Structure 1
Amino acid sequence: MARDQGYGTAVVKGIQLLQLLLSNTTNATRHSALTDEKELARHGYERQDNAHFKIDCIREALRGLDVDDKLVNNGGKNEIVYYIHNRDSVVNGVEYPMTTAYFNQISNPASGILIADTNITPSHAGRLLDNPIETYPPLSHWSDVAFLQYLGPRPLPLRFVVRISIQNVEMYRVLHKSEEGRAILGTPHGSGVAWMLIQHQKHLGVRRLEKVMVFYAPKEGDLWRWPSLLFWIA
Structure 2
Amino acid sequence: MRTPPILPPPPNLVFNESLSNNQRLRENDNGADALHLQERALFDGIKPWILYKKYRKKGRDLRCVLEGTKTTSTPWTDYGALETWGWQLTQDEEDSDYSHVQEQCTGVDLGDLSAGTSIIWDHLETTEHTTNGKQVPYYATNAEYINVFFPAAGVIMANVNYGPSYKTSQGLGSLDPWPKDAPLPKIKQWSDIVALTWLHLTAATTTGGSHQPQNLRWLFRRIIRNDDTQNVIGYVCKQKKVGQARPKGSTGPPWQAPVWPGLVVRPTESDGGSEGDFFNALLATPNANGVVWLLAQHREQLGWKTVKSIRVWSDLPSSVVYSPSMLLEIGDVVPAGE
Instruction: Classify the TM-score, shorter chain.
Output: 0.7 to 0.9
**Does residue 83 of the first structure (1) align with residue 121 of the second (2)?**
yes
Q: CA deviation at 1:155?
A: 4.5
From 84, 88, 92, the equivalent of 1:46 is 88
- Residue in 2 that maps onto 1:229: 326
CA distance in 2, matches of 1:51, 1:3: 43
How many residue pairs were aligned? 222
| TM-score between both structures, scaled by the size of structure 1 | 0.85
- Residue in 1 that maps onto 2:231: 173
User: What letter corresponds to residue 230 of structure 2 in structure 1?
Assistant: Y
Q: Larger radius of gyration, structure 1 or 2?
A: 2
- Residue in 1 that maps onto 2:149: 107
Range with greater deviation from structure 2 (11-20 or 145-154): 145-154
- Residue in 1 that maps onto 2:184: 136
SS of the residue corresponding to residue 81 of structure 1 reads strand
Summarize the Cα distance change of 1:202–1:62 in structure 2 as closer, same or farther, 3 Å threshold. farther
CA distance in 1, matches of 2:104, 2:301: 26
CA contact (8 A) 2:155 2:218 kept: yes
- Residue in 1 that maps onto 2:293: 195
From 58, 62, 65, the equivalent of 1:13 is 58
Question: What are the ranges of 5 or more consecutive residues in structure 2 without an aligned counterpart?
Answer: 1-45, 204-211, 238-277, 332-338
Q: CA deviation at 1:208?
A: 1.0
Q: Percent identity?
A: 25
**Does residue 205 of the first structure (1) align with residue 253 of the second (2)?**
no
Moved over 4 A (4+): 49-54
CA distance in 2, matches of 1:110, 1:49: 18
CA distance in 2, matches of 1:51, 1:62: 26
Q: Say which structure, 1 or 2, has more relative contact order (CA 8 Å, 6+ apart).
A: 1
**Does residue 150 of the first structure (1) align with residue 150 of the second (2)?**
no
CA distance in 1, matches of 2:228, 2:104: 25
Q: Deviations over 1:107-126 (max 9, x none)?
A: 11222111101011001111
Cα RMSD of the aligned pairs, angstroms, is 2.3
Summarize the Cα distance change of 1:50–1:214 in structure 2 as closer, same or farther, 3 Å threshold. same
CA contact (8 A) 2:92 2:118 kept: no
From 89, 95, 107, the equivalent of 2:137 is 95
User: What letter corresponds to residue 33 of structure 1 in structure 2?
Assistant: P
